[in-house]
Amino acid sequence: DAEITQSPRHKITETGRQVTLACHQTWNHNNMFWYRQDLGHGLRLIHYSYGVQDTNKGEVSDGYSVSRSNTEDLPLTLESAASSQTSVYFCASSVDRDYGYTFGSGTRLTVV
């Protein structure tokens, strides 16, 4: 069965470290998205991609980067982790750009 997987499920890192969160989907979806979920803020878009070699900034992209070298993967990199980036991160993919998102199970990141 096709799926979307995120790894790791939990991560603790130190301030200033570079961290990469993985997202892998086997739906063959062109569109992939990274969100963070924080209490009181809901789901906020970090970065998204409409296809290989395409990346776009979302509302809260500062301090984050993504790259899309193939259809299946959209890794999210925190260049220099900050305590404000402690959050739960969700990856999603879709056939259409603005409906039918399928979400991964999330990565809980703690920056200490």
Which residues sit at the interface with other proteins, rule CB under 8 A? 33, 35, 40-43, 45, 48, 90, 92, 97-106
Q: Are 93 and 102 in contact (CB under 8 A)?
A: yes
- Rounded to whole angstroms, what are the CA distances from 40 to 31, 36, 81, 111? 27, 12, 22, 19
The single-letter DSSP state of residue 28 is -
Specify the residue, 39 or 112, whose C-beta has the smaller distance to other proteins.
39
58-69 burial by CB neighbour count: b if 16+ within 10 A, else e? Answer: bebbeebebebe
Specify the residue, 61 or 102, whose C-beta has the smaller distance to other proteins.
102
CB of 85 to other proteins, least distance (A): 19
Specify the residue, 14 or 40, whose C-beta has the smaller distance to other proteins.
40
Instruction: Measure the CA–CA gap between 67 and 19, rounded to whole angstroms.
Output: 14
CB of 107 to other proteins, least distance (A): 10
Output the six-digit token pair for 34: 């990274």
CB of 95 to other proteins, least distance (A): 13
Specify the residue, 71 or 102, whose C-beta has the smaller distance to other proteins.
102
CB of 75 to other proteins, least distance (A): 17
